Structure 1
């Protein structure tokens, strides 16, 4: 919108400048987008795909939050299935909207990542209202919420750990992704959509194999029933340091890696992004750290894990696709580093795409020198 308000000559110069940048950069600028609107905005800014769809953001809208709360308080398999059956078409509709907006460009969909306690209320009045909506006792709901409490939820029951303990969630999300892709592909066969399913917070090959089996069994059945030969890829986020150390093993099952550098930074430094703001200013003034490691990638520590994991992954799977997602994907210095390491794409928020496109071109030129 801002570009439209400036004189045509300046706008034209900007477009020529961005074309110059696009002709020179190696890295693709995928974007983080959770809605069709975000996806369309990213494309308008020149994004070549989506590197991170955070499916949990979809659950907070309208009736979806009610359905996921029904899933959380479910006491029987039938109750769990009923809740998941409500969620599936809602997720499918969201995915269809994103696929439509991206017009055949690659889309990487991350499965449910945050701990379940984020979906339940903490205010007593809200708890009382939810108990009434869910038709359960207030004491019973309080017990459920209490059971969800974790001392350190960032390092607790979240990511693919949810899929191990609740396989129905992964099955539901897989069905929604595949059915959405099939529907949009049917309407637009020229797009040849190939879903990219990303499993978060994996730390072990056996863990990845377990969750991937849930995905592939569900996906293959749906594709077969549709009489389709649609392909899809299953990969993982490298955000647990152990996954970076074992990347050659992880790559046996993962068709792509996306480095979730936000969590990888938290787990490598040993402090959370939410809490670090209380003490990091003192670290800057004492010259212990020069920059906020959540804004600019720590190349010496976290970056070493990224480079090592990329090299190990390529040893096992030479054609593995490698990307980085998170706000580091929009930081010029971080982009310069991941281009040097040889990653294929960076993914950032839609409004940082133009900066990332320019930074990627500058990084390519500089690194080639």
Structure 2
């Protein structure tokens, strides 16, 4: 059995039809590289077969040999070698299940760095700061994800380093501070595990692949699959990809973009990006992001190229796509695409809009009414019928409207406390500086989500939209301190009731009155089309005992 396929492998079928084997991310990377010929860094996919065999019987015997062969092939393509001080190749290791599970499994970036190759990277790039920034990120990620060390063990020294250097932004830490931070992080690894940080890149790679396999059965991934009704037997693929660097300099950056608005369905691209950063900085919400309009002002040529790629992806997939991209010293690279998650209102609007031609001439495309109906799930219809506010008081503060709808509930500041309160029957609003995958059990039970940091593609925003949960992100006037938050002179404590308007981004004190929602025009259009298509094929009958029941049934 073959366990690994390169992104440029010539499959007998279209790669995007092989999600059972390659996972969603691997299938779409292969599709972008081998079919669409987009700028995608080379790499390979360890298949779901390998993960399932690992879950049932441990590490497959032939997998090490295949990994060695694939790494050698990748080194030839990239003209660099894993761990080589003179020309170091670095890779990312990412999960990629058949069905999208945003943030629920693990990722490791900058793998291949060690005490020797970081010196080589600094020499070949003539940039010591970039090299040690990449190394400190790698040690921290590997320590948390592969070695199981608690995140705060790395976060506290990092915050202390910024304070000592007198800077607020990660990007402003000088090379000397980052170099010292790497030594501190290695000491943390030694203290927590009793072993030195691993220096052999092939051992690093096996550890990272195995960690992704293990994360399939992590608590947060299981909770997400239960919520989304995804089978626990599918397993995940693992994608190993040559690194490109958004954190190289101020001519570099990283972002996440949607070809249409995933909250409203408007046919206008939107997304978030950061200059001099890596991808996890955007989705983790640890820094407030900039918009695609800001990208256009700072990198006009890159923005134009990205918009052209967005058009090609929509035409190819005939759907709204969610993408990840990196700018490495002025060159655009595509790192991922998938059919994007969306709110109920957005699903209805997109389904109706896409039955009309998009584009012009030979590039125009559209979907049928039947296909539009198949894209609208019962939960999408349910979401647009959720109550809205009948009236509102003056807003305490305002953030980014990440997921529409009205929510009223008691404030709780941890996922555990939110889950416990929901278990007692309380309506809960989860308030966090930013959410992470570890918060998923609290997010599942929350009526609404409020974060102080993050953008429209942060973890909180993406998950909330997928579940139809009202959410406001990036409310930077919200200052959380233990079990309370303040906005100016106003203090909101645990258990206090607030109201969130996820459509406008407004946060209000107290419980606003809710009223029935008015269905959108697309709601009525979809129901009309459903009646037309089912006519003569399916009838609906009702058991009516009275005249009143009969009238209702009609």
Higher strand share: 2
TM-score, normalised to structure 1, is 0.28
Which of the two has greater helix per residue? 1
Which structure has more RCO (C-alpha within 8 Å, separation ≥ 6)? 1
Superposition TM-score, scaled by structure 2 size: 0.21
